[in-house]
């Protein structure tokens, strides 16, 4: 019997690459889609060129799919122009194939919260990027409600891990490995739950392959948060990084005032300055609903995630192991 086909759109990004590896590990047929039709995913992975903003292109590359994953993450400057069209395009592709659409999401729509974020936390975004994220999620769930195609959302916190570019990336892990002062954005003693990239990929793969067979507790048409280990603080995370590198370089802490000043001269800071608030408040993502639905899911412990990330910064060579070396993510926070 032919295996189910899983199509990953945005397969050269960090989330997409990690997901391709996870789906391969689970024995699925995988088609990895990106604009250029290139990528190193293993000889058994079909690589295809496709533009997520072009519905006709998506209908073609999604042909025969059982599940389609939207892991598209445009550069910040192109979010407004690209993201809505990419969501519409992947919905069109999944619908034409009769496939399930799984959307990789973040937490920016929740805004300022002082308690753990659950799937029922109201969307109260504080900036344009959060508003857009809320709109995208609503568009994905509306497609399910209308019967266009079955959809489901996997939502992660701040990503970290090998090949991930985020506020927990080169500025923290890379700097510590190189012996430079590591950077920390926001408060050091607030609880937080960063999402290890391999855990995110495992959740997305599960949402793409599991049957929706519980009428009273459906899998589809809703949001699922990634489970995490018990929260830690920024100070504790920095301590794990320092313990793993022996780094004694002083910590450079960046708060909102400095971020706003940097925004005048640093494009990346300019785009991400509105999101610094997340790290100045409790930033805890509650994934207990997913953990209860799938009790065999064990998130990667903090020490293991930090060790794997540091190992990649010491030897940044891509690996087919999703838990050890997923692909590069183009995000700043979330």
Domain hosting residue 116, numbered range: 5-166+194-231+286-330
Distance, in Å, from the CA atom of 57 to the CA atom of 100, rounded to the nearest integer, reads 17
Whether 53 is in a domain gets the answer yes
Distance, in Å, from the CA atom of 307 to the CA atom of 245, rounded to the nearest integer, reads 9
Is the pLDDT confidence value at 319 over 70?
A: no
Whether 89 is in a domain gets the answer yes
Question: Based on the structure, what is the number of domains in the chain?
Answer: 1
Average pLDDT of the segment spanning 143-162: 96
Whether 172 is in a domain gets the answer no
Whether 158 is in a domain gets the answer yes
239-289 tens-digit pLDDT: 999 999 998 899 998 876 655 565 554 455 555 566 777 888 999 999 999
Whether 217 is in a domain gets the answer yes
**Res 38: pLDDT:** 82
Q: What is the DSSP string of 135-196?
A: HHHHHHHHHHHHTSS-EEEEE-SSEESTTEESTTSIIIIIHHHHTSPPEEES-SSSEE-PEE
The per-residue pLDDT of the chain, averaged, comes to 89
73-130 tens-digit pLDDT: 888 788 899 999 999 999 999 999 999 999 999 999 999 999 999 999 999 998 888 9
What is residue 117's DSSP assignment? B
Q: Phi/psi at 228 (nearest 5 deg)?
A: -135, 160
Whether 77 is in a domain gets the answer yes
Q: Specify the pTM.
A: 0.91
For the stretch 202-232, what's the b/e string if a residue is b when 16 or more beta carbons lie within 10 angstroms of its beta carbon? bbbbbbbbeeeeeeeeebbbebbbbbbbebb
Whether 279 is in a domain gets the answer no
Whether 205 is in a domain gets the answer yes
In CATH, what number is assigned to the domain containing residue 61?
3.40.50.720
């Amino acid at each position: 019997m032919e295996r189910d086909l899983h199509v990953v759109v945005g397969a050269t990004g960090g989330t997409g690459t990690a997901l391709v590896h996870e789906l391969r590990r689970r024995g699925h047929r995988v088609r990895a889609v990106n604009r250029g039709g290139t990528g190193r995913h293993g000889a058994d992975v079909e690589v295809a060129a496709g533009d997520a903003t072009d519905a006709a292109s998506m209908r073609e590359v999604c042909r025969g799919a059982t599940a389609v994953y939207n892991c598209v993450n445009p550069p910040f400057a192109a979010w407004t122009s690209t993201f809505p069209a990419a969501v519409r395009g992947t919905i069109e592709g999944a619908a034409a194939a009769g496939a399930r659409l799984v959307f990789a999401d973040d937490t920016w729509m929740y805004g300022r919260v002082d308690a753990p974020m659950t799937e029922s936390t109201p969307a109260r975004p504080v900036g344009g990027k959060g508003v857009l994220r809320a709109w995208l999620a609503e568009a994905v769930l509306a497609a399910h409600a209308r019967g266009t195609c079955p959809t489901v959302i996997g939502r992660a916190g701040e990503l970290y891990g090998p090949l991930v570019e985020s506020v927990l990336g080169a500025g923290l892990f890379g700097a510590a490995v190189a012996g430079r002062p590591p950077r920390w954005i926001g408060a050091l003693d607030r609880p937080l739950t960063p999402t290890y990239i391999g855990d995110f990929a495992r959740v997305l793969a599960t949402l793409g392959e599991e049957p929706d067979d519980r009428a009273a507790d459906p899998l589809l048409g809703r949001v699922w948060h990634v489970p995490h280990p018990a929260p830690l603080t920024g100070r504790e995370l920095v301590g794990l990084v320092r313990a793993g590198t022996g780094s004694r370089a002083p910590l450079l802490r960046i708060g909102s005032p400095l971020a706003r000043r940097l925004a005048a001269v640093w494009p990346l800071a300019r785009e991400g300055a509105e999101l610094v608030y997340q790290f100045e408040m409790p930033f805890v993502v509650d994934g207990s609903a997913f953990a209860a639905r799938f009790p065999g899911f064990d998130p990667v412990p903090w020490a293991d995630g930090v060790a794997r990330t540091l190992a990649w910064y010491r030897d940044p060579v891509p690996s087919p192991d999703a838990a050890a070396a997923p692909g590069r993510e183009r995000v700043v926070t979330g």
